[in-house]
Every structure is written in structure tokens, then in C-alpha cells.
Structure 1
């Protein structure tokens, strides 16, 4: 995977190059855009949102289209609710910054492990037959 910084530098170099005309810059910028990792491809997310939205909407529309159905089948209902949950997860912004370095905990050593004391077990008394 290429670092994001290098790809941004390529964008700047192509844009600032005075030897290239606008059409050549457009072609080069499109090729540089393809170098980005799949996580940054906006069409992947758009496709996911469209498909999950269609599944969720299909679950709601199903009883109206199928006039013989009196209720939504449990399997279709669970697929629709899972699609709505996934859609909410994709559309919720990620508030955690990606480039924030992780810090080590304040304490250098873990706390000591003190195993619990073994309980003494009594021998069961033999059964007395009268």
C-alpha cells in the first residue's frame, strides 16, 4: 500500500506541471487517483450505501407488493434490520482520528498477580447404613 503523502505529492506535481495541457493533466490525475487504496475509493462506499438502502427499502415494500402476505417473514425482517444497522454504521462519522499515536499506559509494570488461597476440602464422611 502506498502512503497517502506520496499520492498527494503526485497530485501536486501533476497540477503544477506547466508542460502538460489540461487533457493530459486530467488523464494523469485519473491514473494517480487509481493508486489510492480501496478504502478511499468513494464508489465503493456509494455502492454499499445503495445496496443496503435497497435491501432495507425492499423489506418495507414487500408487504405492499405481495398482497397475500399478512406479515413480513421473520427471515426477511432480520435481513432488513441488519441492512439498516449496517447502513447506520456506514453513515455515522468516525470521530476517532486515524493518525493519532497511541500512548503507553502510565504504569510501567502490570499489577502483581496474587492467586486466591486454595480452599481446604474435607473428606466426605462415609454413609452409615442402619
Structure 2
């Protein structure tokens, strides 16, 4: 079964999210492993490749841009990683957009962009917020 994610990931020790700036179907979750921070799932952006300007505007509006490092990630997998689209900030410096769907390089690209927010290769490839059910609506 395929798994798709589009949204923001940010290590942060404080509350940085302005939820009123998010689309209605968005989900916000605290992340405790492999880093302490926040994630925002944006279902309306799954399968999309928004421009850097669009991502930066949403990051600013939501407050995620206040984090020292943050990542916008669109990720598709069907057993193996099929595609990665990423843009973010690492230690205050912007990177991306990075767009890779080459079966020979996409896993390395995914590991590389996850490293920019402090996630090592092992934890990137077994990223706990991508375990089914993590983003399920909560009562």
C-alpha cells in the first residue's frame, strides 16, 4: 500500500504553530522521536510541488519559519521511496527545492534532506511519524 506525506517537520523546543493559518484538513502533531518538535501534515498538498515562494509563505504564516531548522517534505512510497520534494532551512540557511524521483538516487536524497533537520539515516528510513496511524485524526 502506498504512503504519501506532504507537510512540515521542525525540531523545536517551543510552540511555533499558528494553527489559524492552516487549511482546515491539516493535522498538527508533536514529535518526540527521533527529535523533539512538531509536524504539520497538509493533505491538500499531497502529490503537489508548490513553489518555493508558496512554501515559504505558508511557513511564515504558520510560524514554522521561526524554527532554526525546518523542512517542507512531499514524500511518496510504495515499498521503496518513489519521490521526494523538499525545501527548508538548516541552521538559518535556506535549501531547495530538491525534487527527486530517480529510483537510483531518491533514497539518498531522502536521507540527505532528513539529515538537514538532524535525523540520521537509520531513523530517516524508519521515521516514526511515517508509521501508519501517526497522522490519524484524534478524538
Highest RCO, 1 vs 2 (Cα 8 Å, sep ≥ 6): 2
Greater share of strand residues, 1 or 2?
A: 2
Would the TM-score normalized by the shorter structure come out above 0.5?
no
Higher gyration radius (CA): 1
Q: TM-score, normalization: structure 1? A: 0.25
Q: TM-score, normalization: structure 2? A: 0.24
Greater share of helix residues, 1 or 2?
A: 1
